[in-house]
A and B are shown apart, each in its own frame.
Chain A
Amino acid sequence: MDLDFHPQHIVELYMDDATAIELQNLTKRFDEVVAVDNFNVKIQKGEFFSLLGPSGCGKTTTLRVVAGLEGPSKGTVLLEGKDVTGVPAYKRNVNTVFQDYALFPHMNVKKNVYFPLKMRKISLNQAEPKIERVLRLVNMEGFGKRLPQQLSGGQRQRIALARSLVNEPAALLLDEPLGALDFKLRVAMQKVLKDIQRNVGITFVYVTHDQTEAMTMSDRIAVMKDGHVHQIASPDEIYNDPETAFVASFIGDMNFLHGIIKSGSEKSAKADISGNIINTRKLKQGIKTGEEALLCIRVERVEVNPLEGKLDNVVACTLGRIVFRGTDYEATCRFDDSEIRAVVSATAWDHGLKEGDTIKIGFKTDDVIVFPKSEEKDVIKYSVEAV
Chain B
Amino acid sequence: MELKKSRFDPPRSYIRGTPIILWLLFLVVVPLIFTFAMSFYSSEGLVLEKTFTLKNYKVFFTDPVYARILFKSLRLALGTSMLSIAMAYPLAYMVSFKMVRGRNLLFMMCIIPLWVSYLVRIIAWRSILGNRGVINSLLLAIGIIQEPLRIFLYNRFAIAVTLTYICIPFVFIPVYTSLEKIPRNILNAASDLGASEFTSFINVVLPLSLPGLITGFIFSFIIALGDYIIPLQLGGTQGIMFGNLIWSQFGVAFNWPFGAALGFVLFIISVTILGLTAKFGSTEGGFLSE
Contact = CB atoms under 8 A, between A and B. Distances in A.
Interface string A77-98: 0000000000011110011101
A147 B287 CA distance: 8
A95 B191 contact: no
A160 to B, nearest CB: 8
B97 to A, nearest CB: 15
Interface in B139-196: 183, 185-186, 188-196
Contact of B194 (A105, A106, A116, A147): A116
Identify whether the interface residues of B are mostly helix, strand, loop, or mixed.
helix
Given A102-B183, A102-B185, A106-B208, A116 B290 contact: no
Q: Please name the 9 residue pairs, one residue from A and one from B, whose CB atoms are nearest each other, closest first.
A: A119-B194, A102-B189, A116-B193, A89-B191, A102-B185, A96-B192, A105-B287, A149-B290, A90-B191
A91 B193 CA distance: 9
Interface residues of A, number: 27
Given A89-B192, A95-B193, 17 more contacts: A67-B192, A68-B191, A69-B188, A69-B192, A90-B192, A90-B193, A90-B194, A90-B196, A95-B192, A96-B188, A98-B185, A104-B189, A104-B190, A106-B208, A119-B193, A119-B194, A120-B194
B43 interface: no
A100 B14 CA distance: 41
B186 to A, nearest CB: 5
B164 to A, nearest CB: 29
Contact of B207 (A91, A106, A119, A167): A106
A164 B193 contact: yes
A346 B2 CA distance: 48
Interface in B240-290: 284, 287-288, 290
Contacts, number: 71
18 contacts: A68-B192, A69-B188, A69-B191, A88-B196, A89-B192, A90-B193, A90-B194, A91-B194, A95-B193, A102-B183, A103-B189, A104-B186, A105-B186, A106-B204, A115-B203, A147-B287, A163-B193, A167-B194
Contacts of B290: 105, 149
B208 A105 contact: yes
B105 to A, nearest CB: 22
Contact of A96 (B189, B199, B204, B284): B189
Contacts of B185: 98, 100, 102
Contacts of B189: 96, 98, 102-104
Nearest to A121: B194
A67 B193 CA distance: 10
Nearest to B196: A90
Contacts of A164: 193
A164 B190 CA distance: 11
Nearest to B183: A102
Interface size class on chain B is 20 to 34
Contacts of B186: 102-105
B1 to A, nearest CB: 21
A99 B58 CA distance: 65
A116 to B, nearest CB: 4
Given A105-B287, A106-B207, A119 B195 contact: yes
Interface in B189-221: 189-196, 199-200, 203-204, 207-208
Nearest to B284: A106
Contact of B195 (A90, A98, A100): A90
Interface in A132-190: 147, 149, 163-164, 167
B194 A104 contact: no
A119 B185 CA distance: 18
Contact of B193 (A105, A106, A115, A147): A115
A105 B287 CA distance: 7
Contacts of A89: 188, 191-192
A102 B194 contact: no
Nearest to A164: B193
Nearest to B182: A105
Nearest to B193: A116
Given A98-B185, A100-B185, A115-B203, A105 B288 contact: yes
A119 B199 contact: yes
